[in-house]
């Protein structure tokens, strides 16, 4: 998947987090709930979002104060009045268990504004969607949005353990009934059909091989879908993956400085952000994102550990070293895309752009 530099529509106001009130907790299945948030009128612009994006929530912890977890928005900006994230309980999931057990209507949660690039460039394009389990959360947002505000056709393959595990079963059935000419829904139940194989997934995808594909679910499922689409010769640039993983770093807290080694000498960086060029001294071992935040610049970010690409920008000149990269692929790196939250200076002068 290609991850371009962060466009204007998912810039996060970096220095700020917000408290949102939970208006309602909806039990979707025996182990999944949706949190419906109220957004104050003064924060509406900050929480504007595109289908497929996510919220980063602060989860209290008696061990370390708090941890951060990212949860996809299952609401649609085109059909729903309020923001909604959907969380499925996992056996060892600290955040998911706390949300499912403790959060009630009226609670206030601290969060960052929406972020993420798992979103169609156009809702008018024909789409092929694959989801498994709670991977349906960003996918249902995309499907609802495309059918309500776009002109394209949508095909969705949704895999689950059994019928009782199907999140949004009613919502999806309603969409299929309302848009019979534009929406094809295929359920795959492991209890009846076994695990979906790449060959079976390829057979399901073959009629829609020319469409932009969006895939979300457990790693084995996504690997199977990627293999299936590869056999159908779907270009990698048209296959978009959303990976679920817990954050090790906490974007709500100031990151610790990094000792990066050479060069010991401070560098100078020129940063083009929101139409303004900023020139800053860049100490060795300091991550670019931390430098920008320390200088009160509104640079985008979410996870702060190289896993989401919300802080992506383009290296125009000079050289940096990325300490971690879980999201950019070789094509992105060849295009000069870097992660600000993981980049430390190598050369004495560096030039980057968020434009």
Question: Is residue 85 domain-resident?
Answer: yes
CATH of the domain at 225: 3.40.50.80
Select from 115, 145, 170 the last residue of a domain: 115
Of 89-103, 193-207, 210-224, 291-305, least confident by mean pLDDT is: 291-305
pLDDT tens track for 170-201: 999 999 999 999 999 999 999 999 999 999 99
Which of 115, 148, 176 is the last residue in one of the domains?
115
In a domain, residue 165? The reply is yes
- Mean pLDDT, residues 239-249: 74
Residues of the domain holding 38: 8-115
Is 248 inside any structural domain? no
Give pLDDT, residue 298.
85
Residue 258, in any domain of the structure:
no
CA distances (Å), origin 177, targets 68, 167, 171, 174, 293? 38, 17, 10, 5, 48
Q: In the predicted model, what is the mean pLDDT of residues 274-300? A: 92
How far from 67 is each of 12, 130, 327, CA to CA, in Å?
19, 29, 21
DSSP structure class, residue 29: E
Q: Which of 62, 34, 43 is nearest to 111 (CA)?
A: 43
CATH of the domain at 69: 2.40.30.10
- Of 115, 135, 169, which residue sits at a domain end? 115
Tally of domains within the chain: 3
Q: At how many degrees (to 10) do helices 136-149 and 169-178 cross?
A: 20
Using only the alpha carbons of the chain, give its radius of gyration.
21
Residue 216 sits in the same domain as residue 143? yes
Among 8-12, 110-114, 117-121, 164-168, name the one with the lowest average pLDDT. Answer: 8-12
Q: Is 120 exposed, middle or buried (0-12, 13-18, 19+ CB in 10 A)?
A: buried
Backbone φ and ψ of 207, nearest 5°: -65, -15
Average pLDDT over residues 204-222: 96
Which pTM does this prediction carry? 0.79
H-helix or E-strand spanning residue 143: helix 136-149
């Amino acid at each position: 998947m290609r991850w371009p530099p962060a466009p204007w529509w998912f810039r996060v106001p970096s220095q700020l987090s917000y408290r949102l009130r939970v208006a309602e907790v909806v039990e979707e299945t025996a182990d999944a709930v949706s949190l419906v948030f109220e957004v104050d009128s003064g924060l509406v612009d900050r929480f504007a979002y595109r289908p497929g994006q996510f919220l980063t929530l602060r989860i209290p912890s008696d061990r370390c104060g708090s941890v951060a977890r990212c949860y996809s928005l299952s609401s649609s900006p085109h059909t729903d009045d309020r923001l909604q994230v959907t969380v499925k309980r996992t056996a060892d999931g600290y955040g998911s268990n706390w949300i499912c057990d403790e959060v009630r209507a009226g609670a206030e949660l601290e969060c960052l504004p929406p972020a993420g690039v798992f979103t169609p460039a156009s809702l008018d394009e024909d789409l092929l969607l694959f989801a498994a389990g709670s991977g349906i959360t960003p996918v249902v947002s995309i499907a609802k949005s495309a059918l309500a505000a776009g002109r394209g056709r949508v095909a969705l393959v949704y895999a689950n353990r059994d019928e009782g595990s199907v999140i949004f079963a009613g919502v999806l059935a309603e969409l299929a009934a309302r848009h019979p000419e534009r929406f094809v829904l295929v359920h795959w139940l492991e209890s009846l059909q076994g695990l979906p194989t790449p060959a079976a997934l390829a057979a399901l995808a073959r009629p829609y091989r020319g469409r932009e594909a969006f895939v979300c679910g457990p790693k084995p499922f996504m690997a199977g879908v990627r293999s299936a689409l590869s056999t159908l010769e779907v270009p990698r640039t048209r296959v978009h993956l959303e990976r679920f993983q817990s954050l090790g770093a906490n974007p709500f807290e100031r990151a610790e400085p990094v000792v990066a080694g050479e060069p010991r000498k401070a560098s100078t960086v020129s940063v083009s952000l929101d139409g303004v060029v900023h020139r800053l001294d860049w100490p060795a071992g300091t991550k670019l994102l931390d430098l920008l935040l320390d200088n009160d610049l509104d640079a985008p970010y979410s996870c702060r550990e190289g896993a989401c690409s919300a802080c992506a920008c383009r290296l125009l000149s000079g050289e940096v070293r990325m300490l971690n990269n879980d999201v950019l692929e070789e094509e992105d790196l060849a295009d000069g895309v870097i992660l600000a939250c993981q980049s430390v200076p190598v050369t004495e002068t560096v030039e980057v752009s968020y434009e």
